[in-house]
Amino acid sequence: MAANVEQRTYEDAVNWLRDHGFDLIEAPGTQARVFLKKYTCSAAIQKAEDGGVKIFAYPGYLIGSEISKLVNRGYQQFLKTAKTEVPATADHLKALHQFAEEMKEALALPSLYNESLGTVSESYQYDRIKDRDKPDVERPKRPWQAVKVKAASAPAKKSSR
Protein backbone atom coordinates (compact mmCIF):
# COMPACT_ATOMS: atom_id res chain seq x y z
CA MET A 1 0.00 0.00 0.00
CA ALA A 2 1.37 3.41 -0.97
CA ALA A 3 1.77 5.91 1.82
CA ASN A 4 0.92 9.54 1.35
CA VAL A 5 4.01 11.68 1.66
CA GLU A 6 3.60 15.17 3.03
CA GLN A 7 4.96 17.80 0.66
CA ARG A 8 7.62 20.12 2.04
CA THR A 9 7.57 23.82 1.40
CA TYR A 10 10.57 25.43 -0.24
CA GLU A 11 11.58 27.08 3.04
CA ASP A 12 11.29 23.79 4.97
CA ALA A 13 13.41 21.98 2.39
CA VAL A 14 16.09 24.68 2.44
CA ASN A 15 16.22 24.54 6.26
CA TRP A 16 16.46 20.72 6.20
CA LEU A 17 19.31 20.88 3.69
CA ARG A 18 21.24 23.44 5.79
CA ASP A 19 20.72 21.36 8.94
CA HIS A 20 22.11 18.25 7.21
CA GLY A 21 25.38 19.70 5.95
CA PHE A 22 24.52 20.87 2.42
CA ASP A 23 26.21 24.01 1.14
CA LEU A 24 23.59 26.31 -0.38
CA ILE A 25 24.52 28.93 -2.94
CA GLU A 26 21.93 31.44 -4.16
CA ALA A 27 21.65 31.39 -7.95
CA PRO A 28 22.74 34.76 -9.36
CA GLY A 29 20.03 36.91 -10.90
CA THR A 30 17.11 34.82 -9.62
CA GLN A 31 15.03 34.58 -6.51
CA ALA A 32 14.08 31.37 -4.74
CA ARG A 33 16.61 29.21 -6.60
CA VAL A 34 19.60 27.63 -4.88
CA PHE A 35 22.41 25.30 -5.85
CA LEU A 36 23.05 22.45 -3.40
CA LYS A 37 26.51 21.04 -2.85
CA LYS A 38 27.71 18.05 -0.83
CA TYR A 39 30.05 15.07 -1.48
CA THR A 40 31.45 16.93 -4.54
CA CYS A 41 27.98 16.66 -6.11
CA SER A 42 25.52 19.39 -6.92
CA ALA A 43 21.94 20.07 -8.00
CA ALA A 44 19.66 23.10 -8.12
CA ILE A 45 16.19 23.55 -6.70
CA GLN A 46 13.70 26.37 -6.96
CA LYS A 47 10.45 27.41 -5.39
CA ALA A 48 7.40 26.09 -7.26
CA GLU A 49 4.33 28.22 -7.90
CA ASP A 50 2.41 26.36 -5.17
CA GLY A 51 5.13 27.06 -2.58
CA GLY A 52 6.64 23.59 -2.88
CA VAL A 53 10.01 22.60 -4.31
CA LYS A 54 10.91 21.93 -7.94
CA ILE A 55 14.21 20.46 -9.16
CA PHE A 56 15.84 22.86 -11.59
CA ALA A 57 19.09 20.96 -12.27
CA TYR A 58 19.23 17.23 -11.51
CA PRO A 59 22.03 15.85 -9.34
CA GLY A 60 25.41 15.40 -10.92
CA TYR A 61 29.04 15.08 -9.90
CA LEU A 62 30.96 18.36 -10.05
CA ILE A 63 33.69 18.48 -12.65
CA GLY A 64 35.37 21.83 -12.26
CA SER A 65 32.43 24.11 -11.53
CA GLU A 66 30.00 22.32 -13.85
CA ILE A 67 27.37 19.76 -12.87
CA SER A 68 27.97 16.63 -14.94
CA LYS A 69 25.33 14.37 -16.43
CA LEU A 70 25.67 10.62 -15.82
CA VAL A 71 25.57 8.73 -19.12
CA ASN A 72 25.44 4.93 -19.35
CA ARG A 73 26.95 3.38 -22.48
CA GLY A 74 26.35 -0.25 -21.50
CA TYR A 75 29.98 -1.11 -20.80
CA GLN A 76 30.83 1.99 -18.71
CA GLN A 77 29.17 4.98 -17.08
CA PHE A 78 30.56 8.43 -17.86
CA LEU A 79 30.32 11.87 -16.30
CA LYS A 80 29.65 14.28 -19.15
CA THR A 81 29.79 18.07 -19.16
CA ALA A 82 29.70 20.55 -22.02
CA LYS A 83 33.52 20.54 -22.11
CA THR A 84 34.60 17.03 -21.15
CA GLU A 85 33.64 13.45 -20.48
CA VAL A 86 35.33 11.22 -17.92
CA PRO A 87 34.73 7.61 -16.90
CA ALA A 88 32.73 7.40 -13.66
CA THR A 89 34.55 5.60 -10.86
CA ALA A 90 32.95 3.69 -7.98
CA ASP A 91 33.70 6.65 -5.70
CA HIS A 92 31.92 9.05 -8.08
CA LEU A 93 28.87 6.79 -8.20
CA LYS A 94 28.73 6.26 -4.42
CA ALA A 95 28.90 10.02 -3.80
CA LEU A 96 26.26 10.73 -6.42
CA HIS A 97 23.95 8.04 -5.05
CA GLN A 98 24.31 9.30 -1.46
CA PHE A 99 23.71 12.90 -2.56
CA ALA A 100 20.58 11.98 -4.55
CA GLU A 101 19.11 9.94 -1.68
CA GLU A 102 19.65 12.75 0.84
CA MET A 103 18.22 15.32 -1.57
CA LYS A 104 15.09 13.17 -2.06
CA GLU A 105 14.65 13.00 1.70
CA ALA A 106 15.00 16.78 1.97
CA LEU A 107 12.42 17.39 -0.75
CA ALA A 108 10.08 14.63 0.54
CA LEU A 109 10.31 12.79 -2.78
CA PRO A 110 9.71 9.04 -2.96
CA SER A 111 12.72 6.74 -2.99
CA LEU A 112 12.07 4.23 -5.76
CA TYR A 113 13.24 0.62 -5.54
CA ASN A 114 15.34 0.60 -8.71
CA GLU A 115 17.05 3.83 -7.70
CA SER A 116 17.84 2.52 -4.23
CA LEU A 117 19.81 -0.36 -5.76
CA GLY A 118 22.40 2.03 -7.13
CA THR A 119 23.02 5.12 -9.18
CA VAL A 120 20.63 5.58 -12.08
CA SER A 121 21.78 7.37 -15.22
CA GLU A 122 19.83 10.16 -16.80
CA SER A 123 20.45 8.67 -20.23
CA TYR A 124 21.37 5.27 -21.61
CA GLN A 125 23.24 5.14 -24.94
CA TYR A 126 24.19 1.65 -25.97
CA ASP A 127 26.23 1.12 -29.14
CA ARG A 128 23.62 -0.82 -31.08
CA ILE A 129 20.75 1.51 -30.37
CA LYS A 130 22.57 4.79 -30.86
CA ASP A 131 20.33 7.53 -32.33
CA ARG A 132 17.14 5.47 -31.94
CA ASP A 133 15.74 8.20 -29.71
CA LYS A 134 15.83 10.64 -32.65
CA PRO A 135 13.02 10.94 -35.23
CA ASP A 136 13.44 8.75 -38.34
CA VAL A 137 14.41 11.67 -40.59
CA GLU A 138 17.26 12.70 -38.25
CA ARG A 139 18.73 9.21 -37.84
CA PRO A 140 21.85 8.43 -39.87
CA LYS A 141 21.46 5.61 -42.39
CA ARG A 142 22.83 2.30 -41.16
CA PRO A 143 25.15 0.29 -43.44
CA TRP A 144 22.49 -2.33 -44.12
CA GLN A 145 19.99 0.38 -45.07
CA ALA A 146 22.40 2.00 -47.52
CA VAL A 147 23.16 -1.38 -49.16
CA LYS A 148 19.46 -2.05 -49.78
CA VAL A 149 19.10 1.29 -51.54
CA LYS A 150 22.12 0.64 -53.77
CA ALA A 151 21.04 -2.90 -54.62
CA ALA A 152 17.53 -1.81 -55.51
CA SER A 153 18.67 1.05 -57.78
CA ALA A 154 21.46 -0.81 -59.64
CA PRO A 155 20.44 -2.59 -62.89
CA ALA A 156 20.76 -6.35 -62.84
CA LYS A 157 23.88 -7.64 -64.65
CA LYS A 158 23.80 -10.71 -66.85
CA SER A 159 26.52 -13.25 -66.48
CA SER A 160 28.62 -14.03 -69.57
CA ARG A 161 29.29 -17.73 -69.19
CA atoms in the 13 A half-sphere facing the CB of 28: 0
Q: Between vectors from CA 139 to CA 138 and to CA 143, what angle results, nearest 5°?
A: 145
pTM: 0.66
| Structural domain containing residue 126 | 10-146
Residue 1 falls inside a structural domain: no
Residue 5 falls inside a structural domain: no
- Inform me whether the pLDDT recorded for 148 exceeds 60: no
Amino acid letter, residue 44: A
Q: What is the pLDDT of residue 31?
A: 82
Amino acid letter, residue 152: A
Q: Using 50, 70 and 90 to split pLDDT, how confident is the model at 5?
A: low
Q: Which of 27-36, 59-68, 108-117, 138-147 has the lowest mean pLDDT?
A: 108-117
Q: What is the mean pLDDT of residues 56-76?
A: 87
Residue 93 falls inside a structural domain: yes
Number of domains the chain contains: 1
Residue 160 falls inside a structural domain: no
More confident residue, 103 or 127: 103
Q: Which of 14-18, 44-48, 66-70, 151-155 has the lowest mean pLDDT?
A: 151-155
Residue 124 falls inside a structural domain: yes
Residue 4 falls inside a structural domain: no
Residue 157 falls inside a structural domain: no
- Inform me whether the pLDDT recorded for 160 exceeds 70: no
Q: Distances from the Cα of 11 to the Cαs of 8, 34, 46, 106, in angstroms?
A: 8, 11, 10, 11
